[in-house]
């Protein structure tokens, strides 16, 4: 099973990971920081596609485009997980979480952290 968001290719995901980690950047900076050498036109095509898919937006300063993530990595990851949950488990997040616990994907510390996060979310919703 792929580890990318359903509608992101490997290069698109690599580009998004870079922008999420380092913040807004120009196409030239993206090209310089990617792990593989790419032509400027390739990088610009990837950035345009990410904009078309709604992952990026840009601002223009003089003639330089600066690309920004439209949503935080955590939100995008949550949406990708929801798609997987809907697809494999008919929307049952409980089924996914129980499966993760049963298959020992989460250690004790992660389970405690998850329980604490759930408790905080419940308190926020009760306000």
Instruction: Judge contact between 53 and 39, C-beta under 8 A.
Output: no
Residues 60, 80, single domain; the answer is no
Whether 5 maps to a domain, the answer reads no
Check residue 5 and give its pLDDT.
Answer: 53
Residues 64, 78, single domain; the answer is no
Instruction: Judge contact between 18 and 29, C-beta under 8 A.
Output: no
Check residue 72 and give its pLDDT.
Answer: 93
Whether 3 maps to a domain, the answer reads no
Whether 78 maps to a domain, the answer reads yes
Residues 63, 77, single domain; the answer is no
Check residue 4 and give its pLDDT.
Answer: 46
Residues 64, 77, single domain; the answer is no
Residues 61, 28, single domain; the answer is yes
**Each residue's pLDDT tens digit in the chain (127 positions)?**
334 455 889 999 999 999 999 999 999 999 999 989 999 999 999 999 999 999 999 999 999 999 999 999 999 888 888 888 998 899 898 888 888 888 988 888 998 998 999 999 999 998 8
Whether 120 maps to a domain, the answer reads yes
Whether 1 maps to a domain, the answer reads no
Q: What is the CATH number of the domain that holds 47?
A: 1.10.10.10
Check residue 2 and give its pLDDT.
Answer: 39
Residue range(s) defining the domain that contains residue 16: 10-69
Whether 80 maps to a domain, the answer reads yes
């Amino acid at each position: 099973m792929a580890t990318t968001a359903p509608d992101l290719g490997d290069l698109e995901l690599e580009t998004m990971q870079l922008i999420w980690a380092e913040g807004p950047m120009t196409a030239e900076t993206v090209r310089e920081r990617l792990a593989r050498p790419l032509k400027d036109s390739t990088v610009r095509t990837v950035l345009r596609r990410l904009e078309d898919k709604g992952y990026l937006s840009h601002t223009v300063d003089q003639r330089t485009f600066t690309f920004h993530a439209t949503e935080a990595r955590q939100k995008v990851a949550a949406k990708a997980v929801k798609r997987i949950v809907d697809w494999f488990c008919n929307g049952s997040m409980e089924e996914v979480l129980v499966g993760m616990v049963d298959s020992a994907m989460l250690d004790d510390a992660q389970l405690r952290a998850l329980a604490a996060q759930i408790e905080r979310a419940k308190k926020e919703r009760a306000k």
